[in-house]
């Protein structure tokens, strides 16, 4: 069973930075060969894509609103992915989820989410 555990969320002020982590755990854990992505869900809104990274780590994609501020990365040896978030804005507030999968655009494995709140 593969489990994803997010951490690093919190309450910050606009302009601050946070780094989210997503660690793969469980007796059947695997990481190499899987794409990883971050999604977020604001109160009353649908879950939206934030960023993704290929299994090799060479290809990344970002939602337009976070380009230039967020950076997705991964450390395969540590079974961990990261989302560095700089210059945070109140609109970035929400629950952030990491997800993992093999097929492009399909993520069968999800974490429980970590809350990010940005005050103005």
pLDDT score at 65: 97
Q: Give the distance from CA 25 to its chain's centroid.
A: 16
Mean pLDDT within 16-21: 98
- Residue 12: is its pLDDT beyond 90? yes
What's the mean pLDDT when you consider all of the chain? 94
Q: What are φ and ψ of residue 20, in 5° steps? A: -90, 145
Contact at 8 Å (CB) between 32 and 24? no
Cα atoms in the Cβ-side hemisphere of radius 13 Å centred on 54: 5
Q: Quickly tell me which residue has 């540590």 as its tokens.
A: 78
């Amino acid at each position: 069973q593969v489990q994803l555990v997010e951490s690093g969320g919190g309450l910050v002020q606009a302009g601050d930075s946070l780094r989210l982590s997503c660690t793969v755990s469980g007796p059947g854990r695997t990481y190499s060969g899987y794409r990883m992505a971050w999604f977020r869900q604001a109160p009353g809104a649908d879950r939206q894509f934030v960023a993704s990274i290929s299994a090799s780590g060479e290809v990344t994609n970002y939602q337009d609103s976070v380009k230039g501020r967020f950076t997705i990365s991964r450390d395969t040896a540590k079974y961990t992915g990261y989302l560095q978030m700089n210059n945070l804005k109140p609109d970035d507030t929400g629950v952030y989820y990491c997800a993992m999968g093999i097929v492009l655009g399909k993520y069968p494995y999800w974490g429980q989410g970590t809350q990010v709140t940005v005050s103005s």
